[in-house]
Amino acid sequence: MIAYPLQSIRDYWQNCVHRFPRKTAFIYAGQSITYAQADEWIQRLRGHLERECGLKPGDRVSFVMPNCLEYAIGYWAVIHAGGIVVPINTRLRPEEIQSIQRSVESEILFIHSEMRALAEEAFPAAQAPRFRIAVGWEDGSALSYEAMIAGGEPEPTRPEIPPEAVAIIMHTSGTTGMPKGAYMRHTDLFFNVKHTIFAQSFRHEDIHLLVTPMFHATALYSLLPSAAYQGSTLVITPPVEIKELLSLIQEHRITTFLGVPTMMHFMSTLRDLGSYDLSSLRLCAYAGSPMPPQTIRRLRERLPGVALHNFFGLTETISATHVLPDQDADTRPDSIGKLLPEVYQKIIDEEGNEVPPGVVGELCFHRSNVVQGYWNQPGRLEKSIVDGWFRTGDLACMDEEGYVHLKGRKKEMIIVAGENVYALEVENALYAHDGVLEAAVIGVPAIGARAYLGELVKAVIVPKEGVVLTEVEIKRHCAERLPSYKVPQVIEFREKLPRNASGKVVKRELL
Could you give the number of structural domains in the chain? 3
Write the DSSP assignment of 193-225 as a string of letters.
HHHHHHHHT--TT-EEEE-S-TTSHIIIIIIHH
Question: In this predicted structure, what is the pLDDT of residue 502?
Answer: 38
Q: Are strands 361-366 and 345-348 parallel, antiparallel or unpaired?
A: antiparallel
What gap in Å lies between CA 132 and CA 36, rounded to an integer?
27
Of the chain, the end-to-end C-alpha distance in Å amounts to 61
Question: In this predicted structure, what is the pLDDT of residue 295?
Answer: 86
Does residue 450 share a domain with residue 358? no
Structural domain of 367: 344-411
Which amino acid is present at 404? V
Are 447 and 256 in contact, with CB atoms under 8 Å apart? no
Question: In this predicted structure, what is the pLDDT of residue 175?
Answer: 38
What gap in Å lies between CA 252 and CA 181, rounded to an integer?
36
For 4, list phi and psi in degrees, rounded to 5. Answer: -160, 135
Q: Return the closest-CA partner of residue 463 out of 504, 426, 428, 492.
A: 492
Which amino acid is present at 84? I
Q: Return the closest-CA partner of residue 420 out of 446, 399, 443, 447.
A: 443
Does residue 450 share a domain with residue 366? no
Does residue 118 share a domain with residue 44? yes
CATH of the domain at 422: 3.30.300.30
Does residue 127 share a domain with residue 88? yes
Q: Which residues pair with 398 in a beta bridge?
A: 404
What letter does residue 410 receive in the DSSP assignment? T
Q: pLDDT tens-digit profile of 108-132?
A: 999 999 999 999 999 886 678 999 9
C-alpha to C-alpha distances, 480 to 430, 483, 486, nearest whole angstrom: 11, 8, 11
Q: Return the closest-CA partner of residue 213 out of 91, 79, 33, 30.
A: 91
Q: Is 14 left (phi over 0), alpha (psi -120 to 50) or beta?
A: alpha
For 259, list phi and psi in degrees, rounded to 5. Answer: -155, -160
Q: Return the closest-CA partner of residue 172 out of 10, 393, 345.
A: 393
Residue 484 CB: number of other CB atoms within 10 A? 10
Spatial strand order of the sheet with 143-144 comes to: 143-144, 131-135, 108-112, 60-64, 84-87, 166-171, 181-185
Are 85 and 169 in contact, with CB atoms under 8 Å apart? yes
Does residue 172 share a domain with residue 156? yes
User: Is 334 contained in some domain?
Assistant: no
Does residue 486 share a domain with residue 395? no
CATH of the domain at 374: 2.30.38.10
User: Is 327 contained in some domain?
Assistant: no
Q: Which of 392, 411, 430 is the last residue of a domain?
A: 411
Alpha helices in 231-289 (DSSP H): 242-252, 261-269
User: Is 43 contained in some domain?
Assistant: yes
What gap in Å lies between CA 416 and CA 288, rounded to an integer?
8
Does residue 437 share a domain with residue 348? no
* Type and span of the H or E element at 75: helix 69-80
Angle, helices 186-200 vs 9-19, to 10°: value is 60
What gap in Å lies between CA 511 and CA 411, rounded to an integer?
17
Q: pLDDT tens-digit profile of 176-203?
A: 445 789 999 999 999 999 999 999 999 9
Question: In this predicted structure, what is the pLDDT of residue 7?
Answer: 94
Regions of the chain where pLDDT drops below 70? 1-3, 125-126, 173-178, 289, 408-409, 411, 500-504
Q: What angle do CA 432, 433, 439 make, to 5 degrees?
A: 80
User: Is 385 contained in some domain?
Assistant: yes
User: Is 502 contained in some domain?
Assistant: yes
Number of residues assigned to the chain: 511
What Rg, from alpha-carbon coordinates, does the chain have?
Answer: 23
Does residue 477 share a domain with residue 357? no
User: Is 350 contained in some domain?
Assistant: yes
CATH of the domain at 99: 3.40.50.980
Question: In this predicted structure, what is the pLDDT of residue 233?
Answer: 99
Q: Which of 184, 201, 230 is the last residue of a domain?
A: 184
Q: Which of 383, 411, 439 is the last residue of a domain?
A: 411
Are 115 and 64 in contact, with CB atoms under 8 Å apart? yes
Alpha helices in 125-167 (DSSP H): 145-150
User: Is 463 contained in some domain?
Assistant: yes
- What pTM was estimated for this model as a whole? 0.83
Are 367 and 442 in contact, with CB atoms under 8 Å apart? no
Q: What angle do CA 99, 104, 110 make, to 5 degrees?
A: 90
Does residue 180 share a domain with residue 59? yes
Q: Return the closest-CA partner of residue 62 out of 45, 42, 84.
A: 84
Question: In this predicted structure, what is the pLDDT of residue 456?
Answer: 96
Q: Return the closest-CA partner of residue 74 out of 156, 7, 16, 131.
A: 131
Does residue 175 share a domain with residue 43? yes
Does residue 370 share a domain with residue 458? no
Q: Are strands 207-210 and 166-171 parallel, antiparallel or unpaired?
A: unpaired
Q: Return the closest-CA partner of residue 291 out of 312, 266, 262.
A: 262
User: Is 222 contained in some domain?
Assistant: no
Does residue 454 share a domain with residue 401? no
Q: Is 499 left (phi over 0), alpha (psi -120 to 50) or beta?
A: beta
SS3 state at 9: helix
